[in-house]
């Protein structure tokens, strides 16, 4: 039996990206999940420890990391179990793809242990199984960028079809994350089951505009296209001071501001580091007037996605 141990990192991500509900997502830097893994003699998966998040289950049948990893093990009829040590640096329920990075890290680690029988693109499907367990719905707009890096477009979930598009190299992401939790399952239940034709037409136009804006590096078009007729009008009510923060960041020069995933994190796109710092200060000024605990950071879009550390 192989005694090899691996350690991998899967980055956090921001999905929806305004108008691209369950379709768009991009990876961010530094935050994410670290997983150490090795085959064991037990014939079953074991979670040895979880750091950085309270209340996550150690039972493999209830944990996103091991559920996704087991899907890959089943695919290759691997009977050995895997022991996992997990360290999370992104808080569950924050809107930054915590369950997705957990699923991606588990799948990527096992693929490394197996000698990399699958490409990253092929691994997205297995990570999606873990994400489906977490949210009760099959979607890949977080797992795709966490695995692949960059800006992902989920053209189809079944059959799975993931596209990667170009984006401006100097685009920056500014995030304000109020330390409250919004569960993805509950946030999805808030949304209506239908959309008016007039709103759908607006949404389709903005989706096309955002893709073209990213690929042509047209910041003005990116900003004009960051209008969401589906999720933002409903979910923004769950986020304290959302409207004030959005207006303040736009006034400070943000290209566009919207909800990160299901929230409560809010993100702004900015052109360059100087603008990003100005927008960060605008976020801070808004939330300094409240009793909320809020964390802030600036990130580039992470081009690499999941990676092996050793």
Give the residue numbers annotated as catalytic, written as ranges.
131, 184
Q: Which residue, 239, 230, 285, is CA-closest to 93?
A: 239
Strand partners, 271: 171
First-to-final CA distance of the chain:
19
Q: Which residue, 23, 19, 168, 14, is CA-closest to 97?
A: 14
Q: Which residue, 174, 163, 271, 165, is CA-closest to 218?
A: 271
Separation of alpha carbons 273 and 173, rounded Å: 10
Separation of alpha carbons 14 and 98, rounded Å: 10
Separation of alpha carbons 83 and 211, rounded Å: 41
Q: Which residue, 261, 257, 288, 287, is CA-closest to 275?
A: 257
Tokens 């141990």 identify what position?
5
Which tokens is 171 given? Answer: 């685009």
- Give CA separation, 219 vs 47, 254, 270, in Å: 44, 10, 9
């Amino acid at each position: 039996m192989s005694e090899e141990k691996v350690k991998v990192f899967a980055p956090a991500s921001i999905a929806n990206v305004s108008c691209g509900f369950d379709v768009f997502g991009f990876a961010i830097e530094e935050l994410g999940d670290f997983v150490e893994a090795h085959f064991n003699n037990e014939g079953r998966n074991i979670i040895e420890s979880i750091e950085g998040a309270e209340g996550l289950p150690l039972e493999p049948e209830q944990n996103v990391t091991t559920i996704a990893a087991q899907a890959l093990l089943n695919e290759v009829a691997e009977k050995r179990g895997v022991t996992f040590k997990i360290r999370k640096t992104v808080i569950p329920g924050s809107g930054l793809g915590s369950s997705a990075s957990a699923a991606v890290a588990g799948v990527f680690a096992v693929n490394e242990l197996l000698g990399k029988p699958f490409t990253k693109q092929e691994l997205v499907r297995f990570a999606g199984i873990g994400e489906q367990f977490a949210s009760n719905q099959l979607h890949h707009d977080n797992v795709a960028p966490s695995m692949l890096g960059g800006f992902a477009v989920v053209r189809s979930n079944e059959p799975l079809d993931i596209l990667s598009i170009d984006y401006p190299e100097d685009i920056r992401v500014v995030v304000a994350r109020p330390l409250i939790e919004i569960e993805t399952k509950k946030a999805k239940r808030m949304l209506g089951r239908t959309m008016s034709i007039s709103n759908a037409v607006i949404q389709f136009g903005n989706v096309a505009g955002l893709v073209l804006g990213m690929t042509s590096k047209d910041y003005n078009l990116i900003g004009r296209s960051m209008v969401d007729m589906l999720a933002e009008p409903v979910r923004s009510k769950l986020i304290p001071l959302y409207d004030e923060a959005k207006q303040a960041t736009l006034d400070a020069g943000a290209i566009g501001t919207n909800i990160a995933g299901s929230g409560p994190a809010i993100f702004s796109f900015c052109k360059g580091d100087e603008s990003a710092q100005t927008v960060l200060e605008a976020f801070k000024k808004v939330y300094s007037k409240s009793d909320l605990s809020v964390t802030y950071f600036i990130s580039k879009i992470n081009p690499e996605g999941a990676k092996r550390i050793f």
